[in-house]
Amino acid sequence: MEFLLKNESRFFRLGSYDPIELAGMIATEALTLGSAKVLIQSDGEWLTVSAEQDWLHDREQAFSAITPFPQAGANSMLAEVLAVAFSAGVTTATQEGAKLIKGDSTMPTPEVDPSAGRSVSFMLRRSSPPVH
């Protein structure tokens, strides 16, 4: 995570964390990995990306490490780890249940479509000031 925070400008087009851009990156992953229907929702505090299939099946490490994403080309990576590094809270849910990845268990969490194959939600604000 320290590497991600110190190199923020390498991951976002304008050089700093942009939650909307990040939601688009995650949605693109889902489409690239075979989902036909992907939805991005905002409730003002959280952004949620959901798809009818679990695009991260067998890729749970995507929340804790830079994970190669060869389907998107050389040097590509899954973006979920960026949500963990740059936001205050992250949750994911599949039909098997929901999981808090980062944050306090007392934090409100977004409503998720229980029929979705996978959803990833992250808070719009940063978890801490950027590291220089």
Per-residue pLDDT tens digits for 90-101: 999 998 888 999
pTM: 0.88
**What pLDDT is stored for residue 6 in this prediction?**
93
How many domains would you assign to the chain?
Answer: 1
**What pLDDT is stored for residue 17 in this prediction?**
92
**What pLDDT is stored for residue 130 in this prediction?**
53
Long-range contacts of 9-16 (CB under 8 A, 24+ apart): 11/82, 16/130
Look at residue 62 and tell me if it is in a domain. yes
Look at residue 128 and tell me if it is in a domain. no
Q: Are the beta carbons of 94 and 118 closer than 8 angstroms?
A: yes
**What pLDDT is stored for residue 105 in this prediction?**
78
Look at residue 131 and tell me if it is in a domain. no
Look at residue 132 and tell me if it is in a domain. no
Domain extent at residue 80? 2-123
Look at residue 130 and tell me if it is in a domain. no
Look at residue 20 and tell me if it is in a domain. yes
**What pLDDT is stored for residue 127 in this prediction?**
57
Long-range contacts of 10-18 (CB under 8 A, 24+ apart): 11/82, 16/130, 17/82, 17/86, 17/126, 17/130
For 28-63, give one letter per residue: b (16+ CB within 10 A) or e: ebbeebebeebeebeeeebbbbbbbbbbbeebeebb
Angle (nearest 5°) at CA 80 between 49 and 22: 60
- Segments of the chain with pLDDT less than 50: 132
